[in-house]
Each structure stands twice: as structure tokens, then as C-alpha cells.
Amino acid sequence: MQPSPQFPVALQPSYGDQQERFARVFAILRDGIEQTAFPGAALAVAHQGRLVASHGFGRFTYDESAPQVTQDAVFDLASLTKVVATTTIAMMLWERGSLTLDAPISQLLSEFVTLTPPHQRAKREAVTVRMLLAHSSGLPAYERLFEFTQDRKELLRAAMTTPLAAAPGARAEYSDIGFILLGEILEHLAGEPLDQFAQREIFDRLGLTRTFFIPPLSMRSQIPPTENDRTFRKRIIQGEVNDENAWVMGGVSGHAGMFASGVDLATFAECLLKGGAPLVKPATLALFTRREESPRGTSRALGWDTPSHPSSSGTRFSPTSYGHLGFTGTSLWIDPKRHLSVTLLTNRTWPDRSSQRIREVRPRLHDAIVEAIEGA
């Protein structure tokens, strides 16, 4: 099958020998299901422009009568939204001259300063777009804003008035709040909602037909559920965003909200491995995926993370690699040196969020994949 000329990053399927070649990798995922790390998973591995593994494992839930997960299954990406949509949009707007990385965000979101007490304003005026992308703004990691807000407008106001937990630039602390604000900034600069921009400028241009911010109602039953929510929404969460803050925002936010299949994410990763075309130029991609020098010791690039010790990418991914995790049990790691991407989608939050066993699965999986492709 020849790649479609419409989509220059189409992957060549080449997984006829995957059962043998990736036997140990597949065994790790099946063992993860047995150990209740997650009920289901979809794996997509692309190497040197070829889709060398694409497979579904387990079921939608631990119920033996639940549907089986296929290689085409669509999962809630959670925080992979931060890199696939939000960071990519930031790259595109920066390249077009609309976004200035070192601009104070108060120039773009004046309420970030004006709605807060006077004694807090000097520090808040120092927060830049770069700091939001690099998770060094001083904003806290997470706040349960959904508990006291009713809609998108109220939640955004709550995010804009969230007190800083540290001085801007002093330390790296992963922050959902920062990406909620970043999403709002990008919407202002783009002149349209994130989901509309992402659909036209990213998903459609790459031919991603199983990637959405809000999946069609007709598809919801085909998406593995993420949680039996007994406290907030008081229902099974299936085909709607798991993250409560994103849900209050209508399912579209800079920090969460996307759904996609493993093959679609592998196609997105291939675009980056080939230098970013047709989305961005190689120099733009290099700027955003290079580890930041400040704060000292950070593993963060702009939007993306890089391998640290220990890393969910295992021990074998090269130092120039970049990736990201999602709370629901998703991950995407990209190794430019090997021209390799690994997409793992799971619903580890089913039936609740208590299991952390995926932390043991991820590094083992990535090490086994590198060993399989290098014949170790």
C-alpha cells in the first residue's frame, strides 16, 4: 500500500510478524491486564516510517462479557492533549508570529493579574508563556476547580485567580492549571476554539480520522470507559472526558479532552519524526522538544517531557527523546535517534483511579520494544 499523497506522513503497515517479533512486549501487556494494571490497551509502534506493531489487548472492563479492545480502539488521551493539540498549536502560532514565548501572560490574559490581590500582582506579572509550556510558572499542579464552578467561564476565572505555589521560574512543577490558561491564550490568538483549530490545522491535515476533542455520540459506546464515577457525575464515564475540570469546560481545554486511536497518534508522531511537515518547520520542532535549561535540573521541554531517571520511557530511549503521559493510562514517547515512536493507550482508571501498577508496566514495555527492534 502506497502512502496517500494527500497525507505525507502516512505510515506503511509492516506488522505481519508482530506476534513473533514483539512476543515479549505483548506478554508484558497481557501480564499487566492479569495484574489489574488496566483492563484494556492498544499499542502502536512505528519504526523507520513503518507501523511495525499495532494490536489491541484485553477488554473494555474486567467483565468477561465486555467488548474486546481492537487496534483501532479510541481512548481518552487525558494529558496527551497537552502535546498533541495544545503544544502543537503553540508551535504553529509561534512560527506564524502570533505567539511570543517570553511575553508575560498578563498581556494576553489581564485578569490573571487584575483579579488578584495587589500584593500578589508583581509575581504574577513575571509569568510568561514559556513558563506555562515548561511547567515553571509557579502555578500549582492541580486544583479541584470543578467543585465550585458551573461552566467554562466560571472555571476559567477560577484558574486565572489560582494563587501561585512558588515564585515564577523557581522550580518545575507539572501544572494542569497552567495549561488551562495556555489553552485560553491560544484561543484568543487563533480567534477560534481549540477544537476547531486542531481539527482543521492538525487532525484533518494529517488524515487522523479517529481523533477528536468531543467524539460523536454514535461512537461513545465504542470507546472503553475510564471510570465508574460515584462522587461527582455519579455515572460511568464513557466517551466523555474523564477529567472533571475539562468536563465543566465542555470537554475542550488545553490540558485534557482529546480522544484518539493508537494508529492516529503514531501517524502524528511520524509527522514529528519527519521534521514536523506539514504542520511546522524542523527548527520550530527542535525549539519545542529541546530540554529547557531553566529551572535547573528540569526534565521539561516546551510542552513535552524528556527522559529522566527513572523514566516511564525505560532506560534505552536516547537523550534527545521526548514524550508525555496521560492520567487515564496513556503515553506517547518519540525517539528521533532511532526514528521510533511508541503509543500506549489504556484505561487504567477503570473502575476507579486507585491502581498505579501501570508505573511498573511502562518502563518494562519501552525497554522491551527497543530490544525487539534492535534484535537484542
| pLDDT score, position 80 | 99
Pair 314, 365: CB distance under 8 Å? yes
| pLDDT score, position 5 | 41
d(Cα 330, Cα 216) in Å, to the nearest integer? 21
Tens-digit pLDDT profile for residues 267-324: 999 999 999 999 999 999 999 999 999 999 999 999 999 999 899 999 999 999 999 9
Pair 322, 337: CB distance under 8 Å? no
The stretch 234-261 carries a mean pLDDT of 98
d(Cα 323, Cα 331) in Å, to the nearest integer? 7
**Does residue 307 have a cis peptide bond before it, meaning omega lies within 30 degrees of 0?**
no
Q: Where are the beta strands (DSSP E) in the chain?
A: 12-13, 40-47, 50-58, 74-76, 211-212, 227-229, 235-237, 259-261, 322-326, 330-335, 340-346
| pLDDT score, position 375 | 84
Statement: residue 262 has pLDDT above 80: yes
Pair 225, 237: CB distance under 8 Å? yes
Domain boundaries, the chain: 85-190
What is the pTM (predicted TM-score) of this model? 0.97
> Which three cell numbers mark 113?
493579574
Identify the residue whose cell numbers are 537484542.
376
Calculate the average pLDDT of the chain: 96
